[in-house]
């Protein structure tokens, strides 16, 4: 499978400069526009991995364009290298203050351009890898505990302001320890991944699904009515019930679910989770015959 080439956007009003850079950067997926406004439109259609941005352009200059790019949460993480014939300290500092990460002076020195481009792309890749490690569960790729609380709290604030329904569902896989002890942890991992796939297949992008640890998971829905929320959970139950084998082994599994809804007195997300956990414990107690 061919690796996708990093995307680079060149923003320069000089066609000669554009042609030179496109030829020099032929190993990358390069596109170009001739002004700041066009750049702002293009990056929202297809987000580049790096922007080479000329400073002196008609209309929006490079500094202004950079500030607008950095002002948007969707594009603020795109590294920007300024292009300019100005070599004075003030111009360079202004570029960094605007949000640029590097500065290439004209006339271009091909080796320097390539090294600076490669450096910024490697830095971006390293940062993204660190962010992935910090926010994702390594086994399943879904949000981890840290990322869950970050996103779910934002959703909770939105629900309070807009008065939208807000639901919390907690999941615990039944007798998961027995599965691990009987079939081994590799099969246990496959059960976890199967469960996550089933849930992901039946929720929306606006929902927040995360692994809290071990066989414990949590799902938040916002802005849906009770019937819609119930239908999603029913589909998840049916999906789990339809499993007959995992990793080539005849095996079925089940999950217990506890649910709670945002109430007027809820000041913190933890209060809603606590009620959902209490419901979960009651469900598990009934299954185990200890209630």
DSSP element (H, E) containing 10 = strand 7-11
Domain 145-288 has CATH 3.40.50.2020: no
Question: What average pLDDT does range 152-174 have in this prediction?
Answer: 96
CA angle in degrees (0–180, nearest 5) for 113-4-79: 45
200: left (phi over 0), alpha (psi -120 to 50) or beta: alpha
pLDDT at 3 over 80: no
Phi, psi of 161 (to 5 degrees): -70, -45
pLDDT at position 288: 76
**Considering 12, 137, 172, 215, which one is annotated as catalytic?**
215
Asked if residue 13 lies in contact with residue 38, where contact means CB atoms within 8 angstroms, the answer is no
Q: What's the pLDDT tens digit per position in 36-52? A: 999 999 999 999 999 99
pTM of the model: 0.70
User: Which numeric CATH code is attached to 7-133?
Assistant: 3.40.50.2300
Residues 73, 154: Cα–Cα separation, whole Å: 14
Asked if residue 11 lies in contact with residue 65, where contact means CB atoms within 8 angstroms, the answer is yes
Residues 291, 281: Cα–Cα separation, whole Å: 10
- Could you tell me the residue ranges of all domains in the chain? 7-133, 145-288
Which has more pLDDT, 288 or 178?
178
Give the pLDDT band (50/70/90) at residue 1: low
> How many residues does the structure list for the chain?
291
Question: What average pLDDT does range 229-241 have in this prediction?
Answer: 97
Mean pLDDT of the chain, nearest integer:
95
Give the pLDDT band (50/70/90) at residue 289: low
Phi, psi of 212 (to 5 degrees): -90, -15
In the chain, what's the furthest Cα-to-Cα distance?
79
pLDDT at 98 over 70: yes
| 215 a catalytic residue | yes
pLDDT at 249 over 60: yes
């Amino acid at each position: 499978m061919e690796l996708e080439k990093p995307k680079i956007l060149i923003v320069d009003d000089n066609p000669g400069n554009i042609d030179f850079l496109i030829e020099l950067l032929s190993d990358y997926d390069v596109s170009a526009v001739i002004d700041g406004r066009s750049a702002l439109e293009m990056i929202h259609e297809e987000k580049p991995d790096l922007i080479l941005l000329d400073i002196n352009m008609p209309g929006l200059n490079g500094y202004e364009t950079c500030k607008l790019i950095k002002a948007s949460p969707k594009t603020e993480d795109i590294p920007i290298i300024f292009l300019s014939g100005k070599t004075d300290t003030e111009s360079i500092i202004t570029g960094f203050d605007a949000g640029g990460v590097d500065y290439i002076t004209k006339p271009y020195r091909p080796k320097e351009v390539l090294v600076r481009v490669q450096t910024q792309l490697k830095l971006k890749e390293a940062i993204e890898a660190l962010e992935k490690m910090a926010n994702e569960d390594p086994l399943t790729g879904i949000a981890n505990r840290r990322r869950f609380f970050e996103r779910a709290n934002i959703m909770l604030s939105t629900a309070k302001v807009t008065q939208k329904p807000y639901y919390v569902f907690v999941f615990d896989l039944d007798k998961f320890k027995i599965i691990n002890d009987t079939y081994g942890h590799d099969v246990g991992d496959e059960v976890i991944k199967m469960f996550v796939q089933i849930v992901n297949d039946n929720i929306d992008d606006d929902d927040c699904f995360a692994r809290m640890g071990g066989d414990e998971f949590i799902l938040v829905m916002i802005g849906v009515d009770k019937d819609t929320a119930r239908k999603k959970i029913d589909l998840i139950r049916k999906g789990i019930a339809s499993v007959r084998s995992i990793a080539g082994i005849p095996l079925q599994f089940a999950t217990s679910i506890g649910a709670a809804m945002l109430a007027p007195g809820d000041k913190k997300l933890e209060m809603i989770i606590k009620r959902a956990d209490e419901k979960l414990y009651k469900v598990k107690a009934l299954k185990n015959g200890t209630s």
